[in-house]
Amino acid sequence: MNELRLDLQFFAGEKTEKATPRKRQEVREKGQVAKSADINTAIVMLVVFLVLYFLGTFYKEKLLHFMYQSFEQYARVDLTIDSVHRLSITWLKNMAMLVAPIFFAAVIAACLANFLQVGFLFTTEPLKMKWNRLDPVQGFKRMISLRAIVELLKSILKISVVGLVTFALLWFQIDHILSLTTKSISTTLSSLASLTAKMGLYASSALLFLAIFDYLYQRFDFEKNIRMSKQDIKDEYKKTEGDPLIKSKIKQKQREMAMRRMMQEVPKADVVITNPTHYAVALKYEDGKMDAPMVVAKGVDYVALKIKQLAKEHDVVTVENRPLAQALYRQTEVGDMIPEEFFKVVAEILAYVYRLKRKV
């Protein structure tokens, strides 16, 4: 029976893993975020029509006053260069006063819609010129891509829903609309303005409802597009944390350098305390310069053997004391002073060493 063998490296390039925080930050800096343009449009429309609905009386009075000035006052002014200039400035100011509330409301709504979706984000990356966007082949592929089809279906759905909502509103108000033919011009205009504002509110509310689902789809599509393969995650880890092989070599070099420095201190030691075979701790004491003896080298097994060999080569006294050697090895590091509880026993050993040196 033939066995089927799979090379798991074949799947290393499959983008099946969620994006890491670093990848998310990188794509965010490029301006790539989960965002629905429909939410921006819907919120801006909703806010603008709310302003028109609640400030309808204000706009009516302003427009009537403006029309009164235009037909009663400005029409009687002699047309000269200065008068035309003054009238133009006045008209512009009046129009600005009318447009300003709507304009600022739309700007604030657009900023709020963006902030709710992506937070604070400022980048110039999307503004950079990318020549590959001018490639007709790539452009044709984008036109017939799955995303383009989805966007087309979304547009059809939005037009259908918004059209249905506005038609339903007009249908339920048909009697009132037909009765406007018997009303005055002022009443008719007010009713039509109110009906227009209501149509805008209903349409923008329906669009906002659809935009929420569009945002969820955009988040799903965004998460799918920024997925990473296992190899991508490994490469990112190497960039951020460093190549494990290089790090291990650096640590090995550091250990070797520390070992060489430690071994250079062994010939300067006063005594080496041993286990006798497994542990070795070299001590040094300088009267008047040190408060207590200092550990200048220590090691177990192979390192302990090297310390004892160096001590023998440089005539450093070796003293066997198993409990002390093990305790010093466990409780001290190279460069530390010995703990106070070992002062007495180490003092006795150093006194013994000094006596031996005087005899020699």
**Domains of the chain listed by start with CATH number:** 16-122+132-237 (no CATH), 252-357 (3.40.1690.10)
Between CA 100 and CA 88 the distance in angstroms is 18
By DSSP bridging, strand 15-17 and strand 294-300 are: unpaired
Residue 239 in 3-state DSSP?
helix
Identify residue 309 by its one-letter amino acid code.
Q
pLDDT digits (tens, 9 = 90+) for 59-108: 777 777 777 776 666 666 666 777 777 777 877 887 888 888 888 988 99
Q: List phi, psi (to 5°) of 7.
A: -90, 110
> Does the structure show a pLDDT above 60 at 7?
no
- Give dist(CA 171, CA 195) in Å, integer: 12
Task: For residues 139 and 123, give the distance between their C-alpha atoms in angstroms, rounded to a whole number.
Answer: 25
Instruction: Give dist(CA 5, CA 229) in Å, integer.
Output: 22
Summarize pLDDT for 266-278 with one digit per residue, the tens. Answer: 788 888 888 777 8
What is the model's pLDDT at position 6?
45
Q: What is the pLDDT of residue 332?
A: 82
Average pLDDT over residues 191-204: 87
CB atoms within 10 A of CB 297: 26
CA–CA dist 63, 55 (Å, integer): 12
- The model's pLDDT over 27-64, given as tens digits with 9 standing for 90+, comes to 887 777 888 888 888 999 999 989 888 887 777 777 77
Q: Which amino acid is at 181?
A: T
Q: How far is CA 122 from CA 111, 125, 226, 277, in A?
A: 12, 9, 20, 67
pLDDT at 164: 92
Lowest mean pLDDT among 6-15, 110-119, 340-349: 6-15
Give the mean pLDDT of 151-168: 88
Segment 242-251 mean pLDDT: 68
Q: At what angle do helices 185-225 and 146-172 cross, to 10 degrees?
A: 160
